[in-house]
Amino acid sequence: MTLLWDTRNLFIRALKKLTRNPILIFFSLFQPIIFLVLFTQLFHDFNLLPGFPPGVSYLQFAAAGILLQNAFSSALQSGTSIVDDLNSGFLQKMLVTQVARPAILLGRLLTDACRVTVQSIIILALAFALGFRIESGIPGFLLIIFIIAFFGFAWSGISLAIGMRTRSTETVFGIGFTLSFPLLFMSTALVPVSFMPTWMQDVSSVNPITYAVNAVRDLSLPGYFSLSAELTALGVIAGIAVVTMGATLYLFRKVVS
């Protein structure tokens, strides 16, 4: 019960800190909204090219990639908050209290997952206004939100590990930016795999963003639903979570000690 109570309190604390600085949410949403409003209009006629899924608009195709791009980039910014707590001395103060140590990380990770969820709902609402639809209905919508939140949770571990290792906000942002765009464009987030050169197709086949995007896209496109795609995506995300959370816990123990 102590762990749950401490996690709840630290989750509320991080959430309040985030809501008191809404500019962070705005800037996190700015890029995916630009992609959604301008990018999908700029490449509106992509669906006329040979090899593009028949009967699917580019907005309907790219929305899944934009959702995952937001989750990925937001997750890779999570380490900035742990850097602030380290440099301000707040974390050191927490460590001399009776608070459960795992709750310090769990509270922050749950806040990140909550932020990604809220941002995803905002992006989906805007996409619906532009004509996007989820063909699998409310169950598909809920599963999409879960996949995106789980994806953000898994990748937050990388940012937290970098933040605890470097204690530098600039490094967290720099590495996050360096990772996000290459992985995004070397996936099926914005174009079908058949549009890519051969070497990029090989990278895309092992790119975790591809698996998550394909699962979200299968839930939104008509006649594309495949339970195997969702299970594969959840398995890949779970594998990433084990690795990233393992690295985060290892570095957190070093900070605590």
Return the pLDDT at 238.
92
Q: How far is CA 252 from CA 98, 143, 191, 255, in A?
A: 17, 31, 38, 5
Return the pLDDT at 239.
92
Phi-psi region of 137 (alpha: psi -120 to 50; beta: other; left: phi over 0): left
Instruction: Tell me the pLDDT band of 235, cut-offs 50, 70 and 90.
Output: very high
Residues 6+ apart with CB under 8 A from 117: 145, 148, 149
**244, 155 in Cβ contact below 8 A?**
yes
The string of pLDDT tens digits covering residues 201-225 is 999 989 988 999 999 988 888 766 6
Return the pLDDT at 23.
66
Helices (H), the chain: 2-19, 23-34, 40-42, 58-75, 79-88, 90-95, 101-130, 137-166, 169-185, 198-204, 208-220, 227-256
Residues 6+ apart with CB under 8 A from 222: 55, 135
Q: Is 1 a residue whose pLDDT tops 60? A: no
Angle between helices 137-166 and 79-88 (to 10 degrees): 40
**85, 108 in Cβ contact below 8 A?**
no
Token pair for 239: 């594998």
Residues 6+ apart with CB under 8 A from 143: 136, 219, 230
Return the pLDDT at 79.
74
Q: Is 176 a residue whose pLDDT tops 80? A: no
The string of pLDDT tens digits covering residues 95-145 is 777 777 777 778 788 888 888 888 889 899 999 998 888 888 888 889 999
**159, 172 in Cβ contact below 8 A?**
yes
Distance CA 70, CA 116 (A): 8
Token pair for 61: 């195709």
CA nearest neighbour of 69 among 212, 219, 225, 192: 212
The string of pLDDT tens digits covering residues 63-93 is 988 998 888 777 777 777 777 777 777 777 7
The mean pLDDT of the chain is 82
Residue with tokens 């985060």: 248
Token pair for 58: 């580019």
Distance CA 45, CA 155 (A): 33
CA nearest neighbour of 14 among 85, 116, 100, 118: 85
Return the pLDDT at 190.
87
Amino acid at 25: I
Is 145 in a helix, a strand, or coil?
helix
